Structure 1
Amino acid sequence: MIKLLIWLMITAVVMAGVVFFKKIENKKKAYIVAIGSLFAAAVALWMQGNFAWHMSLLAILGLSLVTALLFMKMEEREQQEKERLKQERKDRKKQAVEPPKPAIEAEKAPERETEPVKEKSEKVFGMESIGPVGKGN
């Protein structure tokens, strides 16, 4: 048990060193992983003298789960922000490409008004000669 916890602590220290000394694009994610691993190691170190070995392992597992949830929440927020920016870019491109619609409609509107209205002729042809069904002729 003690060997396992010592191995875990060494792993946490190495991970924290890699995270803090290596240049990483997204520092928030790296900090979440490093702090989660260090916190899990600290809790395991504290628990190994007072609790049973399986309780220490459960604590490590629980803290790893919390760290993973925080990491994925950050990932989800970044993905949503990327989608929002992508949609904004698409909207701006559409506005730049499309000509203004009111100008086109304004030009066509006067033409429609000047056209004479066609009235229905008095002569009845084809199906118009048959009255509506059920209304009586």
Structure 2
Amino acid sequence: MIRILIFIILAAVVLPLTYLLFKQVPLAKRMTIAGGGLAAAGIAILMQGAYAWYIVALALLGVSFLAAFIFMKLVEKEQNEKQRMMEERREQKQKNTKTYLATTEETPVAEAPIEKPKPFGMQSIDADREEITRGQ
């Protein structure tokens, strides 16, 4: 009974710590790791009094493998989603490139106007302009 009480106390400490300290890891992964460890420990505590030590060790190992399998399924699902998104972006980019290359813009051919050179410096002042001076 004391072992179960200690287990409950440890579970009450471990779950909030994994929730609060590992914010960069997604919630499903955090809880899979913490829950798998707690489940393995809980099953081992319950089986410890009734079964031989090697049976308890095998149960502990089996539950750990189950938690690892669930974790790997989550990772695989996440990787498949990233791969799908990357392929969609690549297809969209290729589609945009193909439509851009397929459409040719026809610009109307206009006669080039004869360009006069822009005046600069003293040439910009009109020669026929009357000069206004101060004081008149």
TM-score bracket relative to the smaller structure: 0.5 to 0.7
Deviations 1:53-103 (A, max 9, x none): 111111100000000001001101110110000000001111111136876
Where does structure 2 lack aligned partners over 5 or more consecutive residues?
A: 105-136
- Count of paired positions: 97
- Aligned partner of 2:74: which letter? M
Q: Paired residue for 1:35?
A: 35
Contact 1:33–1:71 (8 Å) recurs in 2 = yes
TM-score, scaled to structure 1 = 0.61
Contact 1:40–1:63 (8 Å) recurs in 2 = yes
Q: What is the 5 A alignment of 1:1-137?
A: 13=11, 15-22=14-21, 23-99=23-99
Contact 1:44–1:60 (8 Å) recurs in 2 = yes
1:24–1:99 CA distance, 2 compared to 1 (3 A): closer
Q: Distance in 2 between matches of 1:37 and 1:44?
A: 11
- Aligned partner of 1:87: which letter? E
Deviating 4+ runs (over 6 angstroms):
100-104
Query: Quick one: percent identity of the two aligned structures?
Result: 35
Determine which structure has more spread, i.e. the larger CA radius of gyration: 2
Contact 1:24–1:30 (8 Å) recurs in 2 = no
SS at match of 1:56: helix
Deviations 1:108-127 (A, max 9, x none): xxxxxxxxxxxxxxxxxxxx
- Aligned partner of 1:83: which letter? Q
What displacement does 1:19 show? Answer: 1.3
Contact 1:40–1:64 (8 Å) recurs in 2 = yes
- Aligned partner of 1:21: which letter? L
Q: Distance in 1 between matches of 2:95 and 2:71?
A: 37
Greater helix percent: which structure? 1
TM-score, scaled to structure 2 = 0.61
1:78–1:88 CA distance, 2 compared to 1 (3 A): same
